[in-house]
Structure 1
Amino acid sequence: MNIIGGLDREFKGQVVVNSQELDHSQEARMDQYRRDEIGYIYQSYNLINHLTVLENVKLSLDMTTLTGTEREQRAKELLKRVGLIEHISKYPSQLSGGQKQRVAIARALASDPKIIIADEPTGALDSQNTEDVLQILNEIAAEGRLVIAVTHSQHVADASTRVVHLVDGQIDGDERLRPAYEVGNESRLTSKKLSLATSLKTAYKHFRYHKGRNSLIIAGTAIGLFAVMLFTGLGRGVNGYVNKQITDLINPQAIAVTRYVKTNVQGPNAQAANQRAAMQSMSGEVTAQKNFKQADINKIKQLAHVQSVQKLYSTSNVTIKYAGKEALAQSVSSWTSSNSNGSIKKGSSPKAGEVVLDRDSVAKVLQKKDYQKLIGKTVTLSYQTLGQKGQTVEVKYQAKVAGIAASSSGASYASGKTMVQAMKDADVKASAMALAVKVDSMDQSNAVAKQIDKIRSDGKRVFTATSVSDAISTVQTYIDLITNILAGIAAISLLVSALMIIVTMYMSVADRTKEIGILRALGESKRDIRNMFIAESLIIGVFAAVVATVVAYLAQIAFNSALSQIATYSFIQITTGNVVTVFIIALIISLLAAWLPARHAASLNPIDALAAD
């Protein structure tokens, strides 16, 4: 039976069909032979449990050129012929033995084969079902098909037209009982290779049938994918928040320049110390130092990509009065190109004769309920310092409020010209604390900063320059490190997920060994079997990615809502790119996890697979 059906290669001799010898070593030719010529009816029925009656019959029709509608119509006609039209939506486990054998007969006829091989077709049936099956087989033979029944039953043999008797594999009798039926010459269905879409549909049906077990695998895989998406979004959000805080305080195109001071700090700590000093200078947290020479400032102005150089002045412990109330500003610094408008919450940056008040330490103290109404009002600023003769003097001046700012240093800002004029009026020498250098783009900040560091006067280094991009780069390094650690944890989870899929696929191969044999007997190729298992794994991967995406977006909403009490910023930022990446990762994991089990399934011997329990 297996030799005639093109399944068994281990034999000596020849098989000739329509005057042509079959070459059983040609895998593709044997697959086509089984699709075109052979239909199997098994004693044990060999129906596929996770497919309905209708779907079992349509299996071989999927390898024909019929349309979807035509395939379904033909399957229903065959089931009607064997008396099962009312059971098309049932599964094999819901049928009796006689009904299962009728489904097997309908499936064998579906692809319109020329040869029907029946292996003990009545061996598991009662007398009434035996008679029904014999009648159907005779009707099939009367249509002009060759029906070969392998049986130990004399009753079945007596129903045939010819009996070939075998003993120990040798023919010892060949008897003609009645004239053979005429061979039909009608046109038959045309076969084709199984499409990838059909393999995907078959895989989905099995996935759906075992949805409980597969749901656990999806959940496990989704956890790893969710972790990747969440940690990536968290890293992006935190990085963006820190950058925003820095750029709100300082213009990203600005470079802080202070007088070079030689220290004993070496290595990376020296760079960190210089960055900290520069940031303090830019925010007004500075101490007095030597004034800058105009000749040295001109050297900076001559550098490529430098747009402007401004002196930064800063005064501390400034009393600000308005309408009988007063507030103490920790510092008042001159507004330069290094300052960012992002720190101004209301109003605008200060021009000549104007000031920007810090919201929390000044504005809310002067006018608690509606501090924004201070914009446009005139306030008085005063502080104590040393005059040119070393005496204590008071510097006092008035300025109109241009805006309200909110900075982490609690600094207020005034026009540089206004501050310098007030110092002159009080006989105080105006000394710049630092220089604010503005470049034409942030990309040039580091390069210009390095050029400023190289400026020499009398053979000695003059400046220490620090760009905002240095601070951002340092912060990003730490954030990237944390993100990579979290991603490593997620990767371990993904590895576990991949192992889960591999185990699931091997279990699926073991559970479906007989199904593999059935599909090969129907004419499916090794490639078709491999595609089916890979498709099932991909389905698991896609569903896991979908679940991970939905959960990640819900987590993003929940976490950002909870963290909004800390800051009005989206700390978790999941992008379309993250979603695409997760789907790609899921597909790669699924493909890698399914490859070995799928190859193993495709390599199974169809005869051994059919014999599996």
Structure 2
Amino acid sequence: MSVLTLKHVNKYYKVAGNQPFQALKDVTVSFDKGELVAIIGESGSGKSTLMNLIGGLDSDFDGEILFNGQNLGTFKEADFVKYHKENVGFVFQSFNLISHLNLLDNVTMAMTLANTSKEERIKRAKEVLSDMGLSDHIYKKPDQISGGQKQRVAIARALVNDPDIIIADEPTGALDAETTEQVLEIITDIAKRGKLVVMVTHSAQVAGHCSRIVSIDNGSIVDDKRNSEPLIHEEVKSSQPAVGNKNLSFFSAIRLALLNMKEKLSRNLLVAVGSSIGIMSVILMLALGNGVKTYINDTMNSFVNPLVTEVRMPADTQGEEAGSDDQTSLEAMQRQQQMEMQSMLTADAPFQTENLDELAALPNVKSLEKGYSLLSFGANRVAYDENESMILTFATVSSNLNESNLTAGNWPEAGQIMLSQSVADELAEDSMIGRTVTLTLTLGEQVVSREFDVSGIFGSDSDAMSGMSAAYVTFEDLNDWYQAENMTLEPNVVFLLAETADDTESIKNKVKDMGYQGSAQEAMTNMFNEMLDVLTYVLAAVAGISLVVSAIMILVVLNISVVERTKEIGILKALGARKKDIRRIFVSEAFLIGLFSGVIGIAFAFGLGYGINQFSLNVFDVPIIQIANENIVMGLAISVVISMLASFLPSQRAAGLDPVESLRRE
């Protein structure tokens, strides 16, 4: 049975005016193993069209083309891919070697597309290149060898998968006479090994070497002459294992993308650097938010004991309809913030005995301490001689206060008061320790005053909280004061002392689950954190606008790459690349651009962040940029995703290119 049979094959093209043009007319012919066939004819006679149909590059025809009894007209994409990988090899007039790959990679390309193991494909490629006399040139690029050597590389590439059919399009058209003879000897030897070799040529010299000459004119076969019987001496099968129906792997696609990016290194580097600016900006904005939040939280926490949990009664929500249908989440948030602010500026509800008992009974609570705290504007004040200072915070001293913030003197005892640094500075230029001041408070509806001796100063000029005016006395002194005014002091804040710092967090969670509130400081910190989060994300979103520009830039570059590599895409399809493989190569290139952009952006962010932190440390003694691990991961992920999204249209365009038209592109 013939290897290749054409039965009543007709081929039509659409020309101007949408009129059909018949390029092949009722072509019927068959070819056997070992034949060296020359297809000759004038330009436009239909030779190339016939070659493209036999090679499976063009599947739009009428009639039947049978390869070992299988009709190419019924092939699907997967069938053509297998046909190109295993059964047919191409040798082109202009060699069609991929310029940025060395000779070894050019020859192994067909096996790379078939996902053959690296060891197998290198071994086989070296064998074939050695047969072509190119052992000493395998790592050279195509532009480093002669035309005859290029053609031998093209022949090696066609033979490497041991196909049944070799199709050669003017294989000697670009060679001198001596080299032509050498190439023809190689091609004749291929036919003698049992391959069907079909050559399209204008040359009588080439046709004279063939065992059969098929003449075509105006789309029809006009002559079919045999010069000799098939040249087959012995059918030689390569030791090359069957390719199977494997396809290009992800890692092979990455390698091909890397080789192409290396060829256009300066351009791709500029694209990566340009894209990295957006990533750097987003990371820095998020890092700035992290730094500010960390600074605020650390400053707030530095004033409290990590073993102590401050507890307040729930805010009065009477009259609030939290579950009403017309309540939106935004309105709920606003009301919650208003209640928190109101609770910070007024005395909290007092604890009852049953509240104290259930809090003291919580697991891991070592002891419970009663306290009193009040925030006010203008109602409370401290006076010394003729100087006076308003008190924003008045509270009883407790174990919640951090001893490291006691910068002068001692904690207050009976008849003593502790002042913040800002209050002490307003009352006197020198030390206030040991001096007697007058504290005026509004207790209920009464305005009362009492004298205290200053025992210590809380906070320092370098502390961020030192500007907050505050005064502290013992709970016992305040209770005596209330009794002296015929009033009862009820604690509005309690402090739960834990065994260890690890227990503090669990106690806070349990207290919250029971419906109690945390400290005013925590509420204020949470409010600041929420505002900082919103501001950080807004700044990051603004910085992220540059990512859109990056995506457009990558889109443009990949489109240019498709145009530049149109012929390469045609070669890959002729070697058995699927549409999916072509897409994968371009998407891999975009992936690498995104990966490199992300890495460069992260490096820039660390470098710029280091410079900013050096400045802020010198000026504010605070590192303001803090790049978290999640910021790094997110920046890298965003860079890769944006690049891959930008590659969608170019990769689709590349995959959809017609191989026949692509191979014609110069």
TM bracket (short chain) = 0.7 to 0.9
Query: Which digits, 9 at most, give the CA deviation of each residue in 1:160-207, with x for residues without a partner?
Result: 222222222222222222332235153553113222221111111111
Aligned to 2:542: 489
| Equivalent residue, structure 2, for 1:228 | 282
Match of residue 127 from structure 1: 177
Give the corresponding residue for 2:411.
Answer: 350
The structural deviation recorded for 1:512 is: 1.1
Letter of the 2:252 counterpart: T
| Offset at residue 64 of structure 1 (A) | 4.9
Comparing 524-533 with 570-579, greater Cα deviation is found at 570-579
Matched AA of 1:245: T
Q: Name the CA distance, whole Å, in 1 between partners of 2:73 and 2:551.
A: 41
What residue in structure 2 maps to residue 341 of structure 1?
A: 402
In the alignment, which residue of structure 2 is the partner of 1:151? 201
Partner of 1:140: 190
Indicate how the Cα distance of structure 1 residues 583 and 141 shifts in structure 2: closer, same or farther if over 3 A, else same: same
Q: What residue in structure 1 maps to residue 592 of structure 2?
A: 539
Matching residue's letter, 1:193: N
Aligned equivalents of 1:608, 1:313: Cα separation in 2? 83
1:395 is aligned to 2:451: yes
Quote the residue 1:436 is aligned against: 493
Q: TM-score, normalised by structure 2?
A: 0.73
Supply the distance in 1 between the matched residues of 2:602 and 2:624 (Cα, whole angstroms). 17
1:237 positional shift: 1.9
Q: Residue 310 of structure 2 contacts residue 400 of structure 2 at CA under 8 Å; is this kept in 1? A: no
Give the conservation status (yes or no) of the 8 Å contact 2:580–2:655. Answer: yes
Structure 1 residues 39-48 or 496-505, which shifts more? 496-505
Tell me, yes or no, if structure 1 residue 561 matches structure 2 residue 614: yes
Matches within 5 A, 1:365-514: 380-384=434-438, 395=451, 397=453, 399=455, 406=463, 407-408=465-466, 409=468, 411=470, 413-417=472-476, 435-438=492-495, 441=508, 467-514=520-567
**Corresponding position of 2:642:** 589
TM-score, with structure 1 as normaliser? 0.78
How far 1:529 sits from its partner (Å)? 0.8
**Number of residue pairs matched by the alignment:** 563
Distance 1:391 1:56 in 2: 95
CA 1:386/1:26 → structure 2, altered by over 3 Å: closer, same or farther?
A: closer
Does structure 1 conserve the Cα–Cα contact (< 8 Å) formed by 2:381 and 2:388? no
Alpha-carbon distance in 1 for matches of 2:403, 2:551: 47
| Matched position secondary structure for 2:235 | coil
CA contact (8 A) 2:417 2:452 kept: no
1:16 CA drift (Å): 2.0
Task: Identify if the C-alpha distance between structure 1 residues 269 and 110 changes in structure 2 by more than 3 Å, giving closer, same or farther.
Answer: closer
Question: CA offsets per residue over residues 23-73 of structure 1, 9 Å max, x none?
Answer: 454110111011011111001111112212221111112245753233223
Inter-CA distance 94–61: structure 2 relative to 1 (3 Å threshold): same
Contact 1:338–1:437 (CA under 8 A) maintained in structure 2? no
**Is this contact kept in 2: 1:541–1:587, CA < 8 A?**
yes
How far, CA to CA, are the matches of 1:341 and 1:163 in structure 2?
101
Which of 237, 241, 244 aligns to 1:186? It is 237
Correspondent of 1:97 among 142, 147, 168: 147
Does 27-36 or 580-589 show the bigger shift? 580-589
The separation in 1 between residues aligned to 2:202 and 2:603, in whole angstroms, is 60
Q: Using the TM superposition, give the Cα deviation of residue 539 of structure 1 relative to its aligned residue in structure 2, in angstroms.
A: 0.7
Q: Distance in 2 between matches of 1:110 and 1:181?
A: 19
Relative distance call for 1:40 and 1:507 in structure 2 (3 A) is same
1:2 equivalent in structure 2 = 52
**Cα contact 2:420–2:469 (8 A) shared by 1:** yes
* Paired residue type of 1:485: V
The answer to whether 1:311 aligns with 2:365 is no
Does the Cα contact within 8 Å between 1:537 and 1:591 map onto a contact in 2?
A: yes
Amino acid at match of 2:310: Q
Secondary structure, in 3 states, of the residue corresponding to 1:60? helix
1:550 aligns with 2:597: no
**Long gaps (5+) in structure 2:** 1-50, 318-331, 361-367, 497-506
Q: Which residue of 1 aligns with 2:164?
A: 114
Q: Whole-Å Cα distance in 2 between the matches of residues 578 and 431 of structure 1?
A: 53
Structure 1 residues 86-136: Cα deviation after superposition (integer angstroms, max 9, x where no partner): 333332233332232222112112222221111000111111211121121
User: Given the superposition, is the C-alpha separation of residues 349 and 577 from structure 1 closer, same or farther in structure 2, using an over 3 Å criterion?
Assistant: farther
Taking the aligned partners of 1:277 and 1:219, their CA distance within structure 2 comes to 51
Gaps of 5+ in 1: 261-266, 283-291, 321-326, 372-377, 451-464
Q: CA deviation at 1:541?
A: 0.8
Task: Please report how far the alpha carbon of residue 446 of structure 1 lies from its aligned counterpart in structure 2 after TM superposition.
Answer: 11
| Aligned-partner Cα distance in 2 for 1:447–1:586 | 45
**Structure 1, 534-543 or 465-474: larger mean CA deviation:** 465-474
Query: Deviation at 1:584?
Result: 2.0
- Deviation for aligned residue 1:77: 3.2
Equivalent-residue separation in structure 2 for 1:605 and 1:569 (angstroms): 61
Worse-matched range after superposition: 120-129 or 481-490? 481-490
Percent sequence identity is 31
Mapped partners of 2:150, 2:436: distance in 1 = 101
Q: Which amino acid aligns with 1:158?
A: G
Task: State the distance in 2 between where 1:432 and 1:564 align.
Answer: 46
Equivalent position amino acid for 2:77 in 1: E
- 3-state SS, counterpart of residue 650 of structure 2: helix
SS at match of 1:482: helix
Q: How far does residue 411 in structure 1 lie from its aligned partner after superposition?
A: 4.3
Q: Give the Cα–Cα distance (whole angstroms) in 2 for the partners of residues 499 and 538 of structure 1.
A: 15
